[in-house]
Amino acid sequence: MGKKETSKRAIYIDTFHCKMCGTCMEESPETFTMNEFTQMPEVAEDVVEVDDSVRMAVVMCPTKCIHVEGED
Ligand code: SF4
């Protein structure tokens, strides 16, 4: 068992269930950014590299509202 491989996947934030805690942006600031108009987190690109920091953000999200294509 080696290090988890990275891969390009679509990521979606269910903003209805997001409680704006900021954890995702702290864990993976290159992937998750604040939308200055809605004041909600958003994914920087529709399809991103799912590396360890992104996986940590998914795991640490308190409402589990970050969804990774093929992993739900
Ligand atoms: S970690 Fe989850 S609940 Fe917190 S801001 Fe990000 S998407 Fe919202």
Residue 50 placed within a domain = yes
Residue 41 placed within a domain = yes
Domain that holds residue 27: 22-68
Per-residue pLDDT of the chain in tens (72 residues, 90 and over written 9): 455 566 899 999 999 999 999 999 999 999 999 999 999 999 999 899 999 999 999 999 999 999 999 886
Residue 27: C-alpha distances to residues 1, 32, 41, 65 (Å): 24, 9, 13, 15
Residue 61 placed within a domain = yes
Residue 10 placed within a domain = no
Residue 52 placed within a domain = yes
pTM tops 0.85, yes or no: yes
Does the beta carbon of 44 sit less than 6 angstroms from any atom of ligand 1? no
Give me ligand 1 centre to Cα 30, in Å: 15
Pocket test for ligand 1, best of 59, 60, 61, 67 (most atoms within 8 A of CB): 61
Please list the alpha-helical segments (H only) found in the chain: 23-27, 52-60
Residue 56 placed within a domain = yes
CATH number at residue 49: 3.30.70.20
Residue 55 placed within a domain = yes
Contacts of residue 51, defined as CB under 8 A and 6 or more positions apart, other chains included, come to: 6, 28
The total of structural domains in the chain comes to: 1
Residue 39 placed within a domain = yes
